Each structure stands twice: as structure tokens, then as C-alpha cells.
Chain A
């Protein structure tokens, strides 16, 4: 069964600090991995996408890494801002690329 597990479930950080979110997956065959940001009451918005051959991808203050051998990914948020408060969801696509496997998300709260 394709599974995506994220940790921690939630975290609180002070504005300006960095944090790292983890994602482990067992999806096979692997096509790509995306990190989405979901604000409360909104739909998910894509932050980064990585294929098998990519091991890092940045989008502003967001940097994602991928280790396809260990099937792990991380999302690093640098110099956090209050607007970073959201749920961050790791999404893995299998070979057919339309059936997505979603993690439960990590809820990040940034405090002033």
C-alpha cells in the first residue's frame, strides 16, 4: 500500500527562526514528490516538485530535499514569517501520475 508519513505532526517556531519538516514514503513506482502549503480553509498550493533525479529544489525561503534511495524528503523553511503559518503536505505521485498519495501534513505555527 502506498503511504506517506510526515513528522512532526505540528510545530511552533518564533518568527525569523528556521525549521525542517520530514516526509517518508513507500510509494512505488515513484514518479515525483511535491510539497504543498495549505492555509486554513484553503486548497493546497504547490511549493516544490522533485523527480527521481533531483535531490534539492528551492522556492524562495523554502528548500526541499529528496533522497530517493531512503525514500525520504525534507522541507526547510528559512527565516520564518508569520505568513508561513499553515499546513505543509508532502504528496507523492506514483507511475501513473494522477493518483496522488498525500501525507497528513505538518501544521506550522509561527509566532511573533
Chain B
């Protein structure tokens, strides 16, 4: 499968614990995006990378959230001291910037439940 993959698909954790999600983009894509989606809503932008550089972070991304893309390939999103309000689907997308269409292709998401 050459699409965007995310791991794990589901994560249940207790409040206060740290969690880390991984996203593997389509191999030649230079941009990678993280979104959060709550039930009945569209995705909300969190942050994006061009290669290894994090170019923008949303105000939704509090100090407890950190994202990295160290080698310009896969990315991780870490949430420290999780809160119940962090429960959501975390979506990753990638695109080939400069290709003309710049279409974002989405992964299947990681469903986080904070108890």
C-alpha cells in the first residue's frame, strides 16, 4: 500500500499519560500535515511540515503537543499529560508541494480516547 499510513489506529490512555502517534506519508511527498477531528466536525489544522521544517502551528497546538519530522519522511505527534478534551481522531495528510495540484492525501487516522 503506497498511501499515507498511521500508527496506531486506536489508542486508549488514562488522563495524564503521554502518547505518541506516527505518520508515514506517501514517499515522494514533501509536505506533511496534522489535523484533529472531533465527532461530527470537519478536521481542524494543527501543524504542517515542508521536508523536516515545521512551518506553521495552529493555536490549537498547546504546549503539551509537539510534532517532529526529523528526516523529512515520517512524522510523530506527541501529546504530554493528556486530558479528556484531547480525545479525537488525529489525521495525517501529505502532499507534493510544487506539483500543481498540491492535493492532500489523508491517512486513516489515529483514534485517541482519554479516560
Q: Which residues of A contact B (CB under 8 A)?
A: 4, 34, 36, 41-46, 49, 89, 91, 97-100, 102-105
Contacts and interface: CB of A to CB of B under 8 A. Distances in A.
Nearest to A4: B42
Given A41-B111, A44-B106, A49-B103, A98 B95 contact: yes
Majority secondary structure of chain B interface residues (helix, strand, loop or mixed): loop
Interface in B73-115: 91, 93, 95, 97, 101-109, 111
B111 A98 contact: no
B111 A100 contact: no
A76 B95 CA distance: 27
A94 to B, nearest CB: 11
Contact of B106 (A41, A43, A98): A43
Contacts of B109: 41-43
B106 A100 contact: no
B45 A100 contact: yes
B57 to A, nearest CB: 12
Nearest to A103: B42
A103 to B, nearest CB: 5
26 contacts: A4-B42, A36-B106, A42-B109, A43-B4, A43-B91, A43-B93, A43-B106, A43-B107, A43-B108, A44-B91, A45-B106, A49-B101, A49-B103, A89-B42, A91-B42, A98-B31, A98-B33, A98-B48, A98-B104, A100-B43, A100-B45, A102-B42, A102-B43, A102-B44, A104-B42, A105-B41
